[in-house]
């Protein structure tokens, strides 16, 4: 029986956690694999629960904060694994250091990058991240989500890590998304959006996601066209109260629905005529792929990430309310857009991604490498 260990700081909904849940679930379907997700933090309202097939989820204590990775050391030193995978920079660096000195014993060690830290942070925090990157290089594979991310990695990692970096677009289980999208939506939501087209926005209510720009875009549409359009904002965070007040100040309280954090946002996405992403920067916005899988008819994003041109049918517009509003409302070929979605999603299957993680380069995996520019 082969053993796989996926390591995360905390069990919560996020881009890295979604990728890990997909990989763990797919690998657990193989009869010759024993799969475990090790969560450093103690039990919380679980994201992984019910999402990871027969993979086991184990928990530590506390909040999974800096320093908690050392609690893994005893387990690592007494165990051997066939695959170890992580996707958070603290965990990546800790495991890379352990692997280098022989405390982590595994046949294949893979890490994935979650974001481009130099675009998000500066000062002492960026110096700390650079220090973590300095221990990279013992991995068998370092996954960058985009060509831009790969180039950024080569500026902060040691030379020994350069040839370990490959670009691999995030996977999606389109069948699972389609199934989840069929679940019922709350009656009050259906009443508020009945016979009214709506824009879906999904993300944390934090500065980098720019939720106020989404509200500005709605206001621009209403101001210039007089159309009755609703904006549905899925997510929560420290800017939610400000966003609610801002919508009220623009007299849009009746046209902005704050749906909060949802375990399953896909039924709302499926019913949306428009999808909108307003981030200033992202590692790669998984929500765009999810909107595509749900068949959102018109998806517009700011130029927040590299390789957005691989998402056929998605429109990239300038980061202004005027440009975003215009792009959302432009006429387009709906059938051609849906065909583009299908083509892009077919290159991001979980099976292809997992085969690269477990086996490395193969004839099947080359389809991914060719689909994603380096």
pLDDT tens digit sequence for 270-281: 999 999 999 999
- The pLDDT assigned to 194 comes to 87
- The pLDDT assigned to 48 comes to 92
Question: 3-state class of 362 per DSSP?
Answer: coil
Contacting residues for 328 by C-beta, under 8 A, at least 6 apart: 199, 217, 221, 274, 276, 298, 300
pLDDT above 80 for 27: yes
The tokens describing 29, both together, are: 């379907």
- Which segment of 13-17, 322-326, 358-362 scores lowest on mean pLDDT? 358-362
- The pLDDT assigned to 45 comes to 79
- The pLDDT assigned to 361 comes to 60
- The pLDDT assigned to 365 comes to 39
- In this prediction, residues 131-135 reach a mean pLDDT of 93
Contacting residues for 338 by C-beta, under 8 A, at least 6 apart: 295, 313
Higher pLDDT, 237 or 369: 237
pTM of the model: 0.85
Q: What is the mean pLDDT of the chain?
A: 91
CA-to-CA distance for 325 and 328, rounded, in angstroms? 5
Q: How many residues does the chain have?
A: 374
- The pLDDT assigned to 62 comes to 81
pLDDT above 70 for 102: yes
The tokens describing 68, both together, are: 């908690």
pLDDT above 60 for 198: yes
- In this prediction, residues 66-89 reach a mean pLDDT of 92
Pairing state of beta strands 141-144 and 106-112?
parallel
- The pLDDT assigned to 137 comes to 95
- The pLDDT assigned to 212 comes to 98
The sign of the torsion formed by the CA atoms of 335, 255, 280, 120 equals negative
């Amino acid at each position: 029986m082969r053993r796989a260990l996926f390591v995360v700081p905390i069990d919560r909904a996020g881009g890295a956690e979604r990728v890990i849940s997909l990989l763990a679930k797919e690998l657990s379907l193989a009869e010759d694999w024993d799969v475990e997700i090790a969560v450093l933090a103690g039990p919380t309202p679980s994201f992984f629960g019910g999402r990871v097939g027969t993979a086991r989820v184990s928990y530590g204590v506390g909040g999974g904060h800096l320093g908690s990775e050392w609690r893994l050391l005893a387990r690592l030193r007494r165990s051997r694994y066939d695959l170890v995978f992580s996707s958070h920079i603290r965990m990546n660096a800790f495991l890379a250091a352990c692997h280098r000195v022989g405390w982590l014993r595994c046949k294949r060690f893979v890490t994935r990058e979650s974001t481009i830290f130099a675009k998000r942070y500066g000062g002492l925090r960026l110096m700390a991240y650079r220090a973590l990157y300095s221990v990279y290089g013992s991995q068998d594979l370092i996954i960058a989500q985009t060509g831009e991310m790969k180039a950024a990695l080569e500026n902060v990692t040691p030379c020994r890590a350069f040839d370990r970096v490959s670009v691999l677009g995030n996977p999606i289980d389109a069948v699972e998304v389609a199934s989840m999208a069929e679940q019922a939506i709350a009656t009050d939501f259906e009443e508020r959006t009945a016979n009214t087209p709506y824009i879906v926005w999904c993300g944390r209510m934090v500065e980098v996601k720019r939720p106020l720009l989404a509200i500005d875009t709605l206001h621009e549409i209403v101001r210039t066209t007089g159309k009755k359009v609703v904006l549905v904002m899925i997510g929560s965070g420290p800017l939610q109260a400000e966003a609610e007040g801002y919508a009220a100040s623009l007299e849009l309280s009746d046209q902005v629905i704050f749906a909060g954090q949802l375990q399953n946002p896909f039924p709302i996405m499926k019913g949306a005529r428009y999808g909108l992403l307003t981030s200033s920067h992202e590692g790669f916005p998984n929500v765009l792929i999810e909107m595509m899988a749900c068949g959102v008819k018109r998806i517009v994003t700011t130029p927040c990430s590299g390789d957005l041109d691989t998402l056929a049918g998605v429109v990239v517009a300038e980061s202004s309310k005027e440009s975003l509003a215009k792009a959302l409302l432009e006429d387009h070929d709906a059938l051609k857009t849906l065909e583009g979605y299908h083509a892009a999603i077919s290159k991001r299957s979980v099976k292809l991604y997992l085969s690269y993680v477990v086996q490395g380069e193969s004839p099947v995996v080359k389809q991914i490498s060719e689909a994603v520019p380096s």
